[in-house]
Structures are given as structure tokens and as C-alpha cells.
Structure 1
Amino acid sequence: MDAIRTGGPFMEGDDGYWPVLDEFQSLEAFHAFAHHPAILDVCDKLFGEKTLVHPRNIGRIMFPENTKYTTPAHQDFIHIRGTEETYTGWIPLGPCPEELGGLSVLSGAHRRGIYPVKPALGAGGRGIDTAPIEAEDFYWVAGDYEIGDALFFHSHAVHKGMPNQTSDRIRLSVDYRYQGHSKPVTDGSLLPHFNRMAWDEIYKDWASTKYQYYWNAFDLNRV
């Protein structure tokens, strides 16, 4: 799926934003994609057990001319909790050159544990002051992404969104989270993103029940 084109700025909080996000959240293909066999094969080997795919999948819609709401530098563990051995899979839904706003990772910074957070604009509402970390010779890594590219990283990895610097294109991407099924998981990770809609509402137009409430098949360690 290539980037959508739009006629002007459109930001989180606008009346038209939430219906678009709800429609994204209700797509069966959006949730099924998180269970792609190629992804799960790698994750099963990484965790040494069957993988739990967090159902709290996130669709990112990054609009042009709205750079102040670009996702700030942060660590996912602050938002996920549960086990630290959770990995995020960030996947752009189409070609994503740097100007469209991909993802950047602060190389090596995950080795220092959890950093203090502060309020910030953009997804999550909390960010990290990375200036002291960068002063220690850690550096940001970014680049162009093509169809089929995917970036997987540990919950301690410091990362941020890149600003969408185009004038008329939307960057679409997805965030999926993975962990070993025996490790601790929070109840929040089993709820829909933003919890604006119940699972039954999300599932109502799906053609299959294969990926509905699949996590109940595991004897989960809920914390």
C-alpha cells in the first residue's frame, strides 16, 4: 500500500482523525498481518518457545505539515511493561523514504536500561531527553525503507519517528509487539489500542475467527 495523498494538514485530535483510526483498527488484514508465518518463525526461534503476538496492534497515520506531533524519542517498555523481552516490529505499508518520515533508532542506547521520561507531544505523550546520551557517542540510525522492509527492536531500544516533510503524502505504518508466551504480560497489552472500541465491535465484519481472542489459548502470566 503506497502512501495516501491528502489535501492538507490533519492531526491527532481533529474530528476526522478518530474515525479513520477506528476504521484502520477494524481491518482484519491489519491484525492478521501480525501473525505472518515468516515473522512468527523468527520470533519462536528468538524466544525459544511459542510466540505471543500482542493483540494491541497499532496503526500509525503520520500526516504532512504536522511535524510537531512526530513521535518523540522513547522506549517501548515504558508503555508495554510486562516482560522486558518484548520486541516491536515496525513495518511501513509501502515505500518510505526519509522525507516521508520513517523510524530512527539510537544505536547502542538500549544497553543502559530505562531512561527518565518527560511529557512530550506525539504518540505516547512521553519522551526522553537524548542529548546526554548522544554526547556519549551514541548516534541515530535511519534510512529509506522499501516494500517488504521491517524493523524489529527490543523494548529498551531508544527510537523515534522521523517528521513527514512532504506536502501531500501520508505515511502509513504498523507497530506489532511480540514476546514469549510464558513471560509476564499486562492486561493492557491484550486490549485494543486506545481501547476506544471493544473487540466484539472490531471483529463484527471479519470473515474469519482465526485471529479473534487467540491469546486465550495460552495460559498467560498476567501481571
Structure 2
Amino acid sequence: MKDVEFFEEHGYIVLRDFWPSGELDALQAQLDELGKLVVGPGFSSTAQAAAYAMTAEQQSLLYDRLKYLPALSCMSGSEAIRSMCRRLGLQHPSLMGCCNMRLDKPQDSKHLFAWHQDSVYLLGSVNAVTVWVPLHDVNLYRGTIQVIAGSHRRGLAPFKRISDKVIAPYVPMLQRDISLADEVTEAPVTIEAQRGDLVVFKQMLLHRSTPNNSDQIRWTAQLRITDLADPEHRRQRFPTGDKTNIFYVDYPGHDSAARRTQEQHGASIA
């Protein structure tokens, strides 16, 4: 019960030594198998990045296939994940179309995500969660995520369009299209977790990724889960970010029609 109270207040939680049936081992084994196929026999998800050569083409091909690993699907749909989500308040947990994996190379800042809320891009129910699964220990040295504790309780933060992508009902918006309108000045919480732990945070929570300063690639999986029992989510026909965008979805306190009108006149969206 204390875990649930902490999660509701702070918007995130780290669940220690979570995986009960070898799900993480299966995912890492399939990652290594795919890596050897795409990159070469020297590939290993636990080796130093300099131990094997990976071209940009190989990296792109590997990254694009990670989300199709069977073990990731098994992990996403496991009873352990469903039970955990129910305990954290999702009455009818359902997968969103965006479960995937990331690889963060050492000293690579190009693909880091600045402060954002997942809800802006992924949509889903107000109580939707992101489940962040590190395949290694994560901290400021290896790279991790930082969060603004409690920021989920303020709802959507003001945001602005930063690309010229057209605003239309079925045009998805990505992080290169929308960013926060205001600078985040609050002190962040740095998430530290070990291999086998689970990091769960509300999609309304402000968070960002930090650089990987180690000599190994940081491998993580991300599961996104919405609540089909949420009545407002159902009223809007269960929107997800691969089918529409934030300008056509109403969250409490934010009117989508007003946002579209303001954006068409070049204003930030509050």
C-alpha cells in the first residue's frame, strides 16, 4: 500500500528485483542472438562498445528490429506486468502500440530526450504508465532518466510546435515536432536502478534521459500501458499517438479546439 501511495504522490516508483520467471534473461538472450545476426559474431550486449564494430547501417537495422523480439512481446503481456499495473490503479491495463527498446551509445548526446511528458506524444488514458526496463544497472555514469517528482498532478504542461508538420487529425506528432514551452527549473530526481528492477512512471510525469558516460551501450526496454476502463479515454474512442495527436485529444483542463486555434496563430499551447 505504501508503494501505491508513493506512486500516486510522486508519479514514479522503482520496483526492485521484479521479474519472477526469467523474462529479462530471455529478452537479453534474444537481443544477443539478433545482434550477432545483424552486427556479427563479436556482438554482446554486455561487452564494451569498442569490443565490436557496428556501422551506422547495422545500428539502424538492429534498432528497427528490437521491438519485434518475441521476448519483448511476452514481457509486455505477462501476468506480472498486468498485476503490477492493476495494483498501481489501472483497472483494465492494455498495451499501447509503442512498446520498444533503446540503445544508448557511450558519449552520444544526439538521441537524448529533453524534458517532456509521454502523454503529449503517446496519448492514452490520464493514468497511463510507461514501464522502463533497464538491462543493466543505470545511474548518472551509465545514463538513466531524471524526473520531476509530482509534476504529473499538474496535468499537461504548456507546449509548443517546433516543426512545420501540418496539424491534422491523423498526423502523429513526435518529439521533433513538439516541445515544452517553458524551461524546467525544478530540481530533478535521478533514478538509480539495478538489472532486474522495474521503473514505472505516469505518462504525465516530466522526465528526461541523461548521457551515457560509460564504455558500454545502455540497453533498455519501454512498455507503454493505458487503462481502457477510463471513461474519458473511452469517450474519445481510445486515442493513441500512432493514430492521432495531442491537438485532437482533450485531457482534463485542456481544450483541443482552443489549442488548434492558438497554434495556427503561432502561439504556445497552455
Establish whether TM, by shorter chain, passes 0.5. yes
Give TM-score scaled by structure 2 length: 0.59
Instruction: Name the structure 1 match of 2:142.
Output: 100
Larger Rg computed on CA atoms: 2
1:116 to 158, 166, 176: 158
Deviations 1:152-186 (A, max 9, x none): 111210000011112x3111111111122234332
TM-score, scaled to structure 1 = 0.70
Aligned residue for 2:217?
170
Secondary structure in structure 2 of the residue aligned to 1:89: strand
Does the aligned pair in 2 maintain the 1:93–1:172 contact within 8 Å?
yes
Name the counterpart of 1:72. 114
Cα contact 1:117–1:129 (8 A) shared by 2: yes
Mapped partners of 1:157, 1:176: distance in 2: 15
Instruction: Show the counterpart of 1:145.
Output: 193
Tell whether 2:126 aligns with 1:84. Answer: yes
Decide whether the 8 Å contact of 2:158 with 2:182 is kept in 1.
no
For 1:82 and 1:186, the matched residues in 2 are separated by: 6
Q: Which secondary structure does the structure 2 equivalent of 1:69 belong to?
A: coil
The number of residue pairs the alignment matches comes to: 181
Structure 2 residues without counterparts, runs of 5 or longer: 1-27, 29-44, 164-173, 244-270
More moved, 61-70 vs 84-93? 61-70
Q: Are the structure 2 counterparts of residues 4 and 173 from structure 1 closer, same or farther at C-alpha, using a change threshold of 3 Å? A: farther
Once residues 58 and 172 of structure 1 are traced to their aligned partners in structure 2, the CA distance between those partners, rounded to angstroms, is 11
The amino acid that maps onto 1:5 is Q
Deviations 1:36-93 (A, max 9, x none): 3222112123346332122420211111121232111100001111322211111111
Inter-partner Cα distance in structure 2 for 1:110 and 1:50: 20
Distance 1:94 1:112, change over 3 A: same
Q: How far apart are 1:15 and its partner, in Å?
A: 2.6
* SS in structure 2 of the partner of residue 104 of structure 1: strand
Q: Tell me how far apart the structure 1 counterparts of residues 132 and 203 of structure 2 sit (CA, whole Å).
A: 12
- State percent identity of aligned pairs: 22
Distance 1:144 1:153, change over 3 A: closer
The amino acid that maps onto 1:165 is N
| Structure 2 counterpart SS, 1:41 | helix
* Distance change in 2, residues 1:159/1:65 (3 Å): same
Shift of 1:188: 4.5
Q: 2: distance between equivalents of 1:141 and 1:75?
A: 15
Indicate conservation of the 8 Å contact 1:72/1:128, yes or no.
no
**For 1:71 and 1:85, how far apart are their aligned partners in 2?**
22
Specify the SS of the correspondent of 1:100: coil
Preserved CA contact (<8 Å) 1:10 1:63: no
Task: Flag the 1:6–1:151 CA change in 2: closer, same or farther, 3 A.
Answer: same
Tell me if structure 2 keeps the 8 A contact 1:40–1:51: yes
Query: Larger RCO: Structure 1 or Structure 2 (Cα < 8 Å, ≥ 6 residues apart)?
Result: 1
